[in-house]
Amino acid sequence: MICSRRRRTALRAMGIATAVMLATTSCSTLHHNADQAAVTSGGSVAMDPTESGLADAGKPERGGQLVYALEAEAEKGYCLPESELSISGMQVARAIYDTLTVPDAKGGYAPYLAKDVTHDTTYKSWTITLRPGITFHDGSPLDAAVVKNNLDAYRGTYPGRSPLLFSFVFKNVEGVEVVNELTVRVTTKIPWVAFPAALYSSGRLGIMGQHQLDDNAKDCADKPIGTGPFSFVSWTPDVSLRVKRNPTYWQDAPDGKPLPYLNAIEFRPMPNSDERVAALQQGEINMMHTSTSADMADNLVKLRDDGAINLMVSSDHTEVSYLLLNSTKTPLDTRTARLAIANAIDRTKLNQLANKGLPEVADGPFAPGVLGHLDDPKFPGFDLKAAKRAVAAMKQAGTNTHLSLLTSDGPVAVRQAQIERGMLEAAGLTVELDVESEAELISKVIGGDYDMASFRNQPGDDPDMDHIWWYGDGNPVNFGRFDDSVINQNLDRGRINPDRSIRQDAYEAINREFAKQVWNVWLWYAPWAVAEAANVHGILGPDLPGDGGPPPVRLVTGHSLLGIWISHR
């Protein structure tokens, strides 16, 4: 297990999300406690992060093909160090690849391909011991050499591979060495107490076979080779990606035979949420995921209550939706303008109009239960009079008050942006909508070609992973382009200190600094849902291997496909 050589640790999860834009609406009401979210629809229907239909499902059966509808396509393919995977790509990756660690139900990380992950007393030397006898889909063995090569590819030191974000994620790594056939040692420049969570990176850090690792750019992206429960068959971009059962997978089911239960999965990108729900109703697909809250609390709930589908909704350790502000653009380079925008947005009303109140309104970047969360970090609230005064003063001073708002081209996202524009213009600003595809939105954000952008990021993991997104000093993946000494210092403090109370204090300080400087305008904590045909079961999958315990109930970065099965009765 993941532990110190002297004592076990409970490192909280961390992950990274590639720039994923916001596209969510909702209905009904979401309530949080320490362990789960419950949703009430119409005052009578309760939902929590438990899959419906399991009580009467019986024992898992083998066989059958699943057709899984996804929100989007993975535009850059599955050469993982170079990919830009949103949740749809991460869901496919979980079929084909395994990671060295995975989230557990306690908010920490458990070994997966790794048998254990240990550190020395300085937290600068990490030893990864692999499970024996695991093979890739092409028959080659999982050993220390291929894991070292993968880690080098992710950090940008392996020939032929050119990672984008991961070279920044692993900037703290000094070196990776093979100790023996099943042991790898990673040395870091400074202590990195949350390093095991980086070995998961929201499911993006899958271990690729050596042949894929050494392939040319196109074949590396188009011909994935992993150790996962399913092996690659074919991919027609924007149409479907097919995988088949790995008959020699390394984890066994309770019946003593290797997982998974399914024979095959076909993944189909369906960006339109209405199309996904209709396809599920009509039997064209038998599983889907969604971030559209209206469907979670209305259409999907009705289908569930009619017995037509099974459903799971979860806001556990979820991500936050917000307006991303480019602090290099006038007037957003001043706190006065950023505060005026925050004061102009009535977040409660926006949540009701766009979501009918389903998500919990957010005051900071950390969801409830995540290290650094504060019930009241003092984020500025709605104050239209103050916003109008500030905008009037900017106009009088000759300051530009014409801003663009970048959003995706989905109808849900466009409607939300239109509501936000109305609120901002009520304060005296002039706002132009810039409606783009998801891929173009990401490109514009990466290039800094925006003023404000609808965004969704910071899945509820260990805040250390936000080091990549928030550290200043010219960091090219700090998309807000701010350089805040308080945030920088506390990101460093949280990274090197094993004392949980010190880390908590550091991330709470970051939370308060975001509220003080208004680098972003936080909106709400976004729930996710997975729906399946009435004869499909097993969203969360089996317990984690060894003593890893039950799987987490979070859906924000996808879910296991190991335990999904179809009833043939």
CATH 3.10.105.10 fits 317-526, yes or no: yes
Collapsing DSSP to helix, strand or coil, 7 comes out as coil
Q: Rounded CA gap, 229 and 281, in Å?
A: 28
Q: Give the C-alpha distances (Å, rounded to integers) separating 134 from 131, 171, 228, 352, 454.
A: 7, 29, 10, 50, 42
The end-to-end CA distance of the chain, in Å, is 39
Distance of CA 423 to the CA centre of its chain: 29
Task: Tell me what pLDDT residue 473 has.
Answer: 82
CA angle 444, 332, 393 (to 5 degrees): 145
Distance CA 368, CA 316 (A): 8
- On whether the CB atoms of residues 80 and 206 are closer than 8 A, the answer is yes
539 vs 90, 492, 562, CA distance in Å? Answer: 15, 37, 9
Closest CA to 209 of 219, 201, 200: 219
- In sequence order, what DSSP letters do the residues of 246-266 get, joined into one string? -TT-S-B-TTSSBS---SEEE
Q: Give the 3-state secondary structure of residue 225.
A: coil
Determine how β-strand 183-188 pairs with β-strand 125-130.
antiparallel
All structural domains of the chain with their residue ranges = 317-526
Tokens of 334: 């001043």
pTM for the predicted model, two decimal places: 0.88
Q: Which residues pair with 31 in a beta bridge?
A: 38
Q: Which amino acid is located at 416 in the chain?
A: Q
| Widest distance between CA atoms in the chain | 75
pLDDT value at residue 15: 32
Q: What is the pLDDT of residue 38?
A: 40
Q: Note down pLDDT in tens along the chain; length 569 residues.
A: 444 433 333 332 333 333 333 333 233 222 223 233 343 433 333 447 899 999 999 999 999 999 999 998 887 899 999 998 888 999 999 999 999 999 999 889 999 999 999 999 999 999 999 999 999 999 999 999 999 999 999 999 999 999 978 988 999 999 999 999 999 999 999 999 999 999 999 899 999 999 999 999 999 999 999 999 999 999 999 999 999 999 999 999 999 999 999 999 999 999 888 999 999 999 999 999 998 887 887 889 999 999 999 999 999 999 999 999 999 999 999 999 999 999 999 999 999 888 878 889 999 999 998 999 999 999 999 999 999 999 999 999 999 999 999 999 888 899 999 999 999 999 999 999 999 987 788 889 989 999 999 999 988 888 999 999 999 988 888 999 999 999 999 999 999 999 999 999 999 999 999 999 999 999 999 999 999 999 999 999 999 999 999 999 999 999 999 999 999 87
User: What does the pLDDT read at residue 134?
Assistant: 98
